[in-house]
Amino acid sequence: MVLIVIAAIALLCFLIFTFFFTVYNFIPILFLGAPYVITDQERVKKIIVLLNIKPGDKAVDLGSGDGRLVIAMAKAGAEAYGYEINPFLVLLAKKNIQKAGLKNKAFIHWKSFWKEDFSSFNAVTVFGVSYIMKRLETKLQKELKPSARVVSSVFTFPSWVYLKKEGAIYLYEKK
């Protein structure tokens, strides 16, 4: 009898976890942003080089996933922030930041970046999907200071002309 109760509780926990993972991972994709795609370390290095991070920079990763870009930007000298809507990835990113010893230089926020003000950032990274890029371009154009650097992976902004391209990584500078 005890084993049946334990099995039922385990099954219920699994179903609840699956439901919330599905809701937080797939429903927001339809309305808010991109799916979680792991950025391999080679791409991370290219992004950091293209961004030309310097000590004193303030950088942000929009849709920060497991925090690997936020960590890389902090290691390069920036005060680095990430915005992520998936609570499981936020927890993982915070764990990764702590493990990297960067909890005073790298910060993850569990919230949508759409309502945030980016005027204090001079370096931005994003892996967006095509249907958000126009809206994001408008937001960044309004909020970023001139000469802020933006790197987009895979998807391009509809009006901005990139300065440099490395594979499917695009560097922009706000004019």
Residue 23 has which token pair? 């809701």
Cβ atoms of 101 and 107 closer than 8 Å: no
What pTM did the predictor assign?
Answer: 0.80
The model's pLDDT over 61-103, given as tens digits with 9 standing for 90+, comes to 999 999 999 999 999 999 999 999 999 999 999 999 999 999 9
| Contact indicator for 30, 51 with CB cutoff of 8 Å | no
| Model confidence pLDDT, tens digit, residues 105-159 | 999 999 999 999 999 999 999 998 888 999 999 999 999 999 999 999 999 999 9
The CATH number of 41-173, from 2.60.40.10, 3.40.50.10800, 3.40.50.150, 3.30.565.10, is 3.40.50.150
